Amino acid sequence: MVSPTTHKRGVVLVADDDPVMRLLMIEMLGQVGLDGIEAEDGKQAVAYFQGMAPDLILLDVEMPNMDGFSACREIRRIETGAPVPIIMVTGGDDIEAVTSAYEAGATDFVSKPINWPILGHRVLYVLRASDAIVRLRMADAHNRAVLAAIPDTFFRLNRDGVYLDYEPGNEMQGHDAIAAFSVETCVGKHITEVLPRDIADRLLEQMRGVLDTLHVRSVDYELVRFGVIHHYEARLVATGASEVLGLVRDISERKRTEEQIRRLAYCDSLTGIPNRQAFLETLERELHRSKVGNKKFAVLFMDLDAFKRINDTLGHNVGDHLLKIVSERLRETTRPSDLVSRGDQSHNLARLGGDEFTILIPDLERVENALAVAHRVKEAMRRPFLIEGNEIFVTASIGISLFPEDGDDCNSLLKFADTAMYHAKNCGKNNAKLYSSSLTMQIMSHVKLEVGLRKALKNEELYLLYQPQIDVRTGDIVGVEALVRWRHPERGIISPTEFIPLAEETGLIVPIGEWVLRTACKQAMAWQRVAKRSLRMAVNLSAKQFKDENLTQIVVSALHDTGLDPRLLELELTEGTLMDDARATMATLEQLRGIGVHLSIDDFGTGYSSMNYLKRFDVRALKIDKSFISGLPQDSENAAITRAIIAMAHGLKMVVVAEGVETDAQLGLLQEYGCDLVQGFYLGHPSPHEAITQMLLQPCAEPTPTK
Ligand code: C2E
Ligand code: MG
Ligand code: MG
């Protein structure tokens, strides 16, 4: 209730030709805190209204000059008169007067005789009601102004999905005037008659949610308008128990910007294919999908072999161009149709950076399928690349990790595929390797072995065995080959086939090789003293040692310090070592020849070398690899090869050594073929120096089989 004392005093215009009535009315109004202005007739009432703007008018029906009905109509015609509450004072039971009063625009009426104590309250009530209406009108005007100011389209829907209202937004008005969306086309229609069914259904569903929860919800959808796809966002808000207000905004521009940002963030700028970030996210999704669906997938990690060399020698432009073509070839190779049947595969290929690419193979049924893709990728890379007039040849090394076998998180899977790729590179490039948990074990033990190997020399865990080389014609020991062994404190004796590659990788081969050389030379001198015989000492050299620029110096000082005649030292090299870089090889060989040491080709026949070069390199001996000897004498093909090698070597004035002679029959055949020297278990196992000393002290003319 509004209290008369606290309320700002309202002003009531009282129009009655009867002064007593006016007096009484003013008095009663005063009781409820209202002030009164008196008018004697209708004309005066209209004039006073314009001048004084009262808050309410009490109009008697019957007045001279202008009656109440006419005055009421007059006031309503005035602009400020429309909202002012007007109470008509009618005669007794005059129903007709009541009807005329409303028709003239009255707000309410009181009938005579007036119930005086009620009058004041009645007036107050009408004032409050009209106040509320004014506020409502203002709020409505305000809302409409707000809606007009924002670019959104707005509509109201009832609970059944029928449009109650529709107001096209600024940016749509042009289109909507001619398009299907306007007040005329929408209001009164069901939403399914206006919008495509699927969109309408989504809006209806969300609308029900909004009405149930009273929370704002939004729906994104697309509409093709005038041939262009537009993206819209409709926000729905409940405006009552059964009505929803919708605000629709064209968010096409925002979508375009988002798409552009997404492209920048997820695309490799050089090749246009997805980048690392995109790949990681794809991988994350695939991981989840595969976990849920109990499926397998593979991650392929590809790295170009010798990409750096191309970049360095032909320039970055060529390098960049190459990467682009590589990514195109990869895209072709991993095209969805022949990879898997699932939808969008565009993110399954990515460039992580540099020359590193990854491929995701989802829904893997068999590991072989991943290997088949790897094979196709390798083949695709092998085709020559024609760039700026250069014909470029590259190969790729590929590592593969598998979910769930190898790991169950993205980082591990990617890391393991990378590890497997390195493994593939170490196995001779242009290779594809699977990562498997056993590979980790292998690497772990590799690392442990490396730590041990670093200490092996200092801890005197290395030692040499010597295997005799026998002259086929005389049966005499004419030389030995020094073969290194490692007595590992925990693992026992480790074969050089296991630790020499590791020593090569880590560079430890250089100090180890030097130790072997010195120890072997020293031993050769010791035998000279004890047995009074000169034995040729063969020492294996690995590729890394051969490339070491200090090699000549190391050989010279070993010979010098031990006093061994250089002609008694024979360095064994493999074909691969020699052919790697013919020009550098030539220079090193010349230096070694200058010292006076001999060279032989180890494991001959397993590699690839040109006879021409061997002749130029001035090689003293060829050691036929044991793989040719082991099948003899039954294996006629190997017999023919062995025979041919011997003949050819003799033609080039080279000595021939047969390795791995294990039987008498093999020895017999080699004798028949004219082989010069033999080495093998049949003639003597690699043995400690004491055992060789024993053999040297026994005078013998025939080959002495041991075991
Ligand atoms: P390699 O130089 O070809 O040495 C011959 C290998 O054949 C030796 O293996 C030897 O034990 C084995 N062998 C000898 N006779 C027979 C036979 O009748 N039948 C069979 N099946 N095998 C026979 P080992 O000692 O295990 O050495 C393996 C390889 O390790 C060597 O092959 C050589 O390449 C390398 N190596 C050994 N010592 C050294 C070294 O001090 N430095 C370097 N760089 N490499 C070495
Ligand atoms: Mg050898
Ligand atoms: Mg060999």
41-56 pLDDT tens trace: 999 999 999 999 899 9
- What pLDDT shows up at residue 4? 38
Q: Which domain holds residue 330?
A: 267-435
Cβ(689) – ligand 1 distance below 6 Å: no
Computed over every residue of the chain, the mean pLDDT equals: 88
Q: Whose CA is nearest to atom 37 of ligand 1?
A: 483
What does the DSSP 8-state code read for residue 676? -
Positive or negative torsion for Cα 496, 497, 502, 503? positive
What is the domain-level CATH number for residue 224?
Answer: 3.30.450.20
Q: Is there a domain that residue 262 lies in?
A: no
Q: Which of 93, 119, 146 marks a domain boundary?
A: 146
Residues 17 and 88 in one domain: yes
d(CA 428, CA 446): 18
Q: Which residue has the higher pLDDT, 389 or 87?
A: 87
- The confidence score (pLDDT) of residue 85 equals 94
Residue 188 and residue 271 in one domain: no
Contacts of 575 (CB under 8 A, 6+ apart): 601, 603, 604, 606, 607, 608, 609
Maximum Cα interatomic distance, the chain, rounded to a whole number of Å: 166
Contact (Cβ atoms closer than 8 angstroms) between residue 227 and residue 199: no
Residue ending a domain, choose from 99, 120, 146: 146
Residues 6 or more apart whose Cβ sits within 8 Å of residue 134: 83
DSSP assignment letter at 607: S
State yes or no: pLDDT of 180 exceeds 70. no
Residue 502 lies in a domain: yes
For the domain that residue 384 is a member of, what is the CATH number? Answer: 3.30.70.270
Q: What is the CATH number of the domain that holds 44?
A: 3.40.50.2300
Q: Go through the chain and tell me how many residues it has.
A: 707
Cis peptide before 511 (omega within 30 of 0): no
Residue at 704 is within a domain? no
Instruction: Flag whether 508 is in a domain.
Output: yes
Task: Please give the structure tokens belonging to residue 339.
Answer: 């990879």
> Is the pTM value of this prediction over 0.85?
no
4 in a domain, yes or no?
A: no
The answer to whether 72 touches 104, Cβ cutoff 8 Å, is yes
- Please compute the mean of the pLDDT values over residues 568-575 and round it to a whole number: 94
CB of residue 574 inside a 6 A radius of ligand 1: no
Residues with CB under 5 A from ligand 3 (ion): 602-603, 659
**CA angle, 537 as apex, 531 and 541 as ends, to 5°?**
160
440 Cα: distance to centroid of ligand 1 (angstroms): 28
Q: Is 153 left (phi over 0), alpha (psi -120 to 50) or beta?
A: beta
Residues 138 and 158 grouped into a single domain: no
Which residues make beta-bridge pairs with 243?
A: 158, 240
Percent of the chain with pLDDT over 90: 58
What is residue 136's DSSP assignment?
A: H
Shared-domain flag, residues 277 and 417: yes
Q: Are residues 244 and 291 in the same domain?
A: no
* Residue 6 confidence (pLDDT) above 70: no
Which of 92 and 253 is assigned the larger pLDDT?
253
DSSP 567: G
Residues 298 and 381 in one domain: yes
Rounded to the nearest angstrom, the distance between the alpha carbon of 542 and the centre of ligand 2 is: 10
Q: Report which secondary-structure segment, H or E, holds 553.
A: helix 551-562
| Residue 540 CB less than 6 A away from ligand 1 | yes
Residue with the smallest CA separation from ligand 1 atom 27 is 496
Q: What's the mean pLDDT in 112-140?
A: 89
DSSP assignment, residue 222?
E
Phi, psi of 67 (to 5 degrees): -75, 170
Check residue 345 and give its pLDDT. Answer: 55
Distance CA 623, CA 606 (A): 11
Is residue 29 pLDDT above 50, yes or no? yes
Q: Which of 602, 592, 598 is nearest to 549 (CA)?
A: 592
Find the 585 Cα to ligand 2 centroid distance in Å.
Answer: 19
**Is the predicted pLDDT of residue 3 greater than 90, yes or no?**
no
Give the whole-angstrom CA distance, residue 524 versus residue 568: 9
Structural domain tally of the chain? 4
Contacts of 59 (CB under 8 A, 6+ apart): 15, 42, 45, 68, 71, 72, 86, 87, 88, 89, 106
Q: Is the CB–ligand 1 distance for residue 497 below 6 Å?
A: yes
The 3-state DSSP class for residue 180 equals: coil
Q: In this structure, are 136 and 32 located in the same domain?
A: yes
Sign, CA torsion 611/616/617/621: positive
| The last residue of a domain, from among 93, 125, 146 | 146
Does residue 411 register a pLDDT over 60?
yes
Any domain includes 447? no
Shared domain for 368 and 308, answered yes or no, is yes
402 with 528, same domain: the answer is no
Q: pLDDT category, 339, cuts 50, 70, 90?
A: very low
For the stretch 353-406, pLDDT in tens is 899 999 999 998 888 888 889 999 999 998 999 998 888 888 899 999 999 989
The residue among 254, 299, 544, 261 whose CA lies nearest residue 415 is 299
The amino acid at 665: A
Cα separation, 465 vs 482, in Å, equals 6
Residue 649 counted as domain residue: no
Note the ligand closest to the C-alpha atom of 661.
1
Any atom of ligand 1 within 6 Å of the Cβ of 36: no
User: Between 336 and 654, whose confidence is greater?
Assistant: 654
Determine the pLDDT at residue 336.
57
What is the identity of the amino acid at 496? P
Residues 290 and 424 in one domain: yes
- Same domain flag for 477 and 599: yes
Q: Which ligand does the CA of 572 lie closest to?
A: 2
- Do 264 and 258 touch, CB atoms closer than 8 A? no
pLDDT in tens, 196-214: 999 999 999 999 999 999 8
Rg of the chain over CA atoms, in angstroms? Answer: 52
Residue range 683-699: average pLDDT?
Answer: 91
**Residue 648 included in any domain:** no
Nearest bound ligand to the CA of residue 538: 2
pLDDT at 497: 93
Residues 252 and 274 placed together within one structural domain of the fold: no
Q: Identify the top-confidence range among 79-93, 137-151, 443-457, 473-487.
A: 473-487
The contacts of residue 384 (CB under 8 Å, 6+ apart) are 391, 392, 393
Predicted confidence at residue 371, as pLDDT, reads: 87
Structure tokens at 82: 């429309």
